[in-house]
Amino acid sequence: MQEERMQVLKMVDEGKITVDEATKLLEGLRATGNEGGGKQFEEKFKAFTNDMKEFCKDVTCKLNEATKKAEPKVKEFAKNVVAKTADIADNISQSLNEKVKNMNGECCGEEGCGCGSDEQPADNGPRPEEKEELKK
């Protein structure tokens, strides 16, 4: 019986079973006494091992199912993030282009845009096309 106790303690040390599980196994050893304890322990240990194997199989199956169910949702989420990011980038690009046009005194062409086409553009010197005309 000493050998069985050492085996239980070793399993706890290796992290194969919890302290509570070891306590139950050791109590089972004590309850059987010296006669036939080894055989009963072995049977209980085999039953426990089989239960743990079944539990692990169940957990693995459930995790696989959850992963399969989540995969399309994750892909759709990623697709939406990419689309929204592209929209934001387009909006930023468009806004920057309008700002650059406004800085050059150009109008975006939309009615009531506020680009300042009615106002005189800032005098930043001659535009490139005006420079060509001045050279002639």
pLDDT at 85: 96
Residue 48 half-sphere exposure, CB side, CA atoms within 13 Å? Answer: 17
As given in the structure block, the two tokens for residue 109 are 């062409």
**74 is a domain residue:** yes
Q: Does position 26 have pLDDT exceeding 80, yes or no? A: yes
Residue 96 half-sphere exposure, CB side, CA atoms within 13 Å? Answer: 6
Identify which has the larger pLDDT, 27 or 37: 27
Mean pLDDT of 3-24: 86
List, for residues 45-69, the tens digit of each pLDDT value: 888 889 999 999 999 999 999 999 9
pLDDT at 33: 60
**75 is a domain residue:** yes
**124 is a domain residue:** no
pLDDT at 7: 87
Number of domains in the chain: 1
CA 126 to chain centre: 55
Q: Does position 16 have pLDDT exceeding 60, yes or no? A: yes
List, for residues 76-132, the tens digit of each pLDDT value: 999 999 999 999 999 999 999 888 877 776 666 666 666 554 444 455 556 666 666
pLDDT at 120: 46
**31 is a domain residue:** yes
**112 is a domain residue:** no
**115 is a domain residue:** no
Host domain of residue 78: 2-105
Phi and psi of 46, rounded to 5°?
A: -65, -40
Buried b (16+ CB within 10 A) or exposed e, 26-39: bebbeebeeeebee
Could you tell me the pTM of the whole model? 0.38
Q: Does position 23 have pLDDT exceeding 60, yes or no? A: yes
**129 is a domain residue:** no
**135 is a domain residue:** no
